Amino acid sequence: MELITLNTKNTTYQIGVEPNGFLLHLYYGARTEGDMSTLLTRYFRGNNGVPYDHKGDGTYSADSLPQEYSCYGSGDYRNHALRMADASGVQGADFRYQSHRFYEGKAEIPGLPSSYGKEGVGSCEIILTDARLQAELTLTYGIFYEEDVITRSVSVKNTGEQALWLDKIMSMSMDFLTGEYQLIHFWGRHFNEMNTEITPVGHELVSIGSRRGVSGHQHNPFVILAQKECGEEYGSCYGISLVYSGNFTIQAEQDQYCQTRIQAGLSDEMFHYPLAAKETFYTPEVLLAYSADGLTRLSQIYHAFIRDHICRGRFQHIRRPILVNNWEATYFDFTGEKLVEIAREAADLGIEMFVLDDGWFGSRGPDDRGLGDWVVNEKKMGGTLDSVVKKIKSLGLQFGIWFEPEMVNEDSDLYRAHPDWALTIPGKPPVLGRTQLVLDFSRKEVRDAIFAQMTAVIDSTQVDYIKVDMNRSICEAYSYGADYQNFGTLCYRYMLGVYEFFERLTKRYPDLLIEGCSSGGARFDAGLMCYTPQIWASDNTDAIERLNIQYGISFGYPVSVIGSHISAVPNHQNGRITEIDTRAAVAMSGNFGYELDLTKLSGEEKDKIRHQIADFTEHWELIHHGLYYRDSSPLEQKEYCAWNYTSPDRTEALLTVITTNTRANSPVSYVRCRGLDRDAMYRCDETGFSYSGNILSSIGIPLPIVPGEYHAFRFHFKKED
């Protein structure tokens, strides 16, 4: 059997090419030498799934061998990765290996965002063909050696003269010969995103995904397949992160021989894609990582990778401006004068940017009108936007503004002029979300019209930042302007349109900071992060609920992509009251900002804000670029929630603890700080004591017992000479 082996610094991925042209998945895990086909066994498998060229050999079954990319019709009855049909709709494929090649660098995926890398990045491309369908399948692997990441994507080309049909095409599929696994996945809803759930993978399909047109609050397109005994600091685990922001599926199950298969990619619901002669279809990319040392290490691989090989642009590695956003301060109830008042306070406190949220355009406010008309409401603003922005900028602040480009209200000039630009189904009343409809971004003329309106605003007011919102899911996947098969292609084409739109924006404004937003975390994924180096993590700004949300996010995404703000108390979403120090400690674990009426603060609160800004400015590098450690889990219902950042050279660490449960006469909580040099001594700024790295890593420090809940503690450790 010919072997194709991909090595990163600490991992090995091996594929076997059978003499019959089948591709077998032999191994993915810790770096190793050798021929892993020695792990294969061939016992009698009931004469099922025997390829014709093995006629009579009941030990050769496509249904039990580990497949690299299983196709429906090949004799593998498990969950397949590809289902294709010929022009008359007859499904069934038989792709066989033709060739493969390694090359330096990494190619882009036409129309889709993907990871990038220059130095030390290689690729491998495997080509298979199907004689009946006259199609060519390309499996592409990106090899990020230092980063320990392997990317996968797939394309299929119709090489014949007849149309073909694609009914399912996953970005990756992988089989494990042995092992008991659990799927760690992240579910949620609006205001309550990224709950961590652990589901054992047994003999039924564990399946998560989205059919909402966006990746969604309900399931995040990032999962971990972990061996049963895996924890933060030990055990084997695999990460799968989909670089895509639309409908998706991630599925895992054990087969009849207790082998585990996992797959990720486009959802096959509402997917029925005609592939014209000579056309090529491209799947989104997945980012695969493996850790032999538990979940912390796996997360750290993703943190660095998303920061360095997914995020782009000027703001990729630098500190983003500390901002104040007027949404929770005023909602729709503001005037230009009120905005300038808030900005004046902001400048005085040391805040660096003012962001004008929803409500500044068309007839907007309340929220059932105006979307689609990106023309300044000068009556409300008391003048031109430019005059307000000039006042704000003269205070020394940068200026940011909110858009929701993909949406339209029926009550808007845009909709009245172009009702067919919205996604609705002829003859059926549309389903609404926040009284709005989704614009048909699969159509270039629609994107062009919105782009022209947006750029007119950005250009005329010299905007430094935009927040791009998207507040409802897609329900009616029908385009009025389609020159292609509508059903089964719209959701994919819509996403390509959204990406083209973002591509254009980022090319035209390379220095503009863009924050992705979708009612909070509804489109929080590595796809959007290729354009927006930060994403509003949740519309829930309560510090305590955010602990759980930001804990979930930390498994697959770095702190530097999280948008997180201090808001007023009682909190507007759940009524909880927390101290401003607690709100600051949580908001600082992200892109720090404020979202409250600064003109209503007490003198003491203002002093604290000045101190917070100085504090964040001092520590942001450690927070955003340090190694991140989860020191407690909300799943354990502890008395506290804790996490720490340790500098890569292990000379300093910052430990944050929030108490979440109070009990009378309670035992003392010892909180660990991880990632330190165990042989070194560290001095703590707050306690004034010195501790050995060994003690901090294994026992931790005692937490003061303070009555009441939700107190924040911060400990900064510095290595002693």
Residues that bind ligand DGJ (CB under 6 A): 327, 357-358, 402, 469, 471, 517, 519-520, 536, 539
Residue 600 neighbours by CB under 8 Å, 6+ apart: 568
The half-sphere exposure of 353 on its side-chain side, counting CA atoms within 13 A, is: 23
Q: Which of 328, 352, 525, 542 is catalytic?
A: 525
Other C-beta atoms within 10 Å of 53: how many? Answer: 13
Closest C-alpha among 155, 102, 97, 160 to residue 134: 160
Please indicate whether residue 605 is annotated as part of the active site: yes
Q: How far is the CB of 515 from ligand DGJ (least distance, A)?
A: 10
Tell me if the bond preceding 110 is cis, omega within 30° of 0: no
Q: How far is the CB of 613 from ligand DGJ (least distance, A)?
A: 21
Q: Which of 341, 386, 605, 677 is catalytic?
A: 605
Task: State how beta strands 670-671 and 701-702 pair.
Answer: antiparallel
Q: How far is the CB of 328 from ligand DGJ (least distance, A)?
A: 8
Burial 361-389 (b: 16+ CB within 10 A, else e): bbbbbebebbbbbbebbeebbeeebeebb
Q: How far is the CB of 516 from ligand DGJ (least distance, A)?
A: 10
Distance between CA 423 and CA 477 in Å, rounded? 6
- 216 versus 626: smaller Cβ distance to ligand DGJ: 216
- Whether the Cβ atoms of residue 298 and residue 224 lie closer than 8 Å to each other: yes
Q: How far is the CB of 248 from ligand DGJ (least distance, A)?
A: 21
Q: How far is the CB of 363 from ligand DGJ (least distance, A)?
A: 15
Q: How far is the CB of 439 from ligand DGJ (least distance, A)?
A: 16
- 95 versus 524: smaller Cβ distance to ligand DGJ: 524
- Whether the Cβ atoms of residue 471 and residue 519 lie closer than 8 Å to each other: yes
Tell me if the bond preceding 366 is cis, omega within 30° of 0: yes
Q: Write down the residue that tokens 């652990």 correspond to.
A: 198
Sign, CA dihedral 455-354-375-469, equals positive
Q: How far is the CB of 628 from ligand DGJ (least distance, A)?
A: 24
Sign, CA dihedral 471-477-480-485, equals positive
DSSP string, 649-716: TSSEEEEEEEE----TTPPPPEE---S--TTSEEEETTT--EEEHHHHHHT-EEPP--SSS--EEEEE
Other C-beta atoms within 10 Å of 91: how many? Answer: 14
The half-sphere exposure of 294 on its side-chain side, counting CA atoms within 13 A, is: 9
Q: How far is the CB of 367 from ligand DGJ (least distance, A)?
A: 6
**C-alpha distances in Å from residue 290, one per residue of 154, 230, 298, 554, 646:** 21, 12, 6, 16, 22
Nearest residue to ligand DGJ by CB is: 358
Q: How far is the CB of 555 from ligand DGJ (least distance, A)?
A: 22
Distance between CA 634 and CA 409 in Å, rounded? 40
**Farthest-apart Cα atoms in the chain, separation:** 86
- 206 versus 543: smaller Cβ distance to ligand DGJ: 543
Q: How far is the CB of 575 from ligand DGJ (least distance, A)?
A: 18
Sign, CA dihedral 445-450-453-455, equals negative
Structure tokens at 400: 């940011």
DSSP string, 79-90: --SEEEE-TT--
Distance between CA 539 and CA 541 in Å, rounded? 6
Residue 188 neighbours by CB under 8 Å, 6+ apart: 194, 195, 217, 218, 220, 521, 549, 552
Distance between CA 596 and CA 600 in Å, rounded? 9
- 76 versus 469: smaller Cβ distance to ligand DGJ: 469
- 357 versus 597: smaller Cβ distance to ligand DGJ: 357
Residue 702 neighbours by CB under 8 Å, 6+ apart: 668, 669, 670
Q: How far is the CB of 406 from ligand DGJ (least distance, A)?
A: 13
Please indicate whether residue 525 is annotated as part of the active site: yes
- 115 versus 471: smaller Cβ distance to ligand DGJ: 471
Give the type of residue at 481. Answer: G
Q: Residue 254's beta-bridge partner residues?
A: 260
* Residues recognised as catalytic: 525, 605
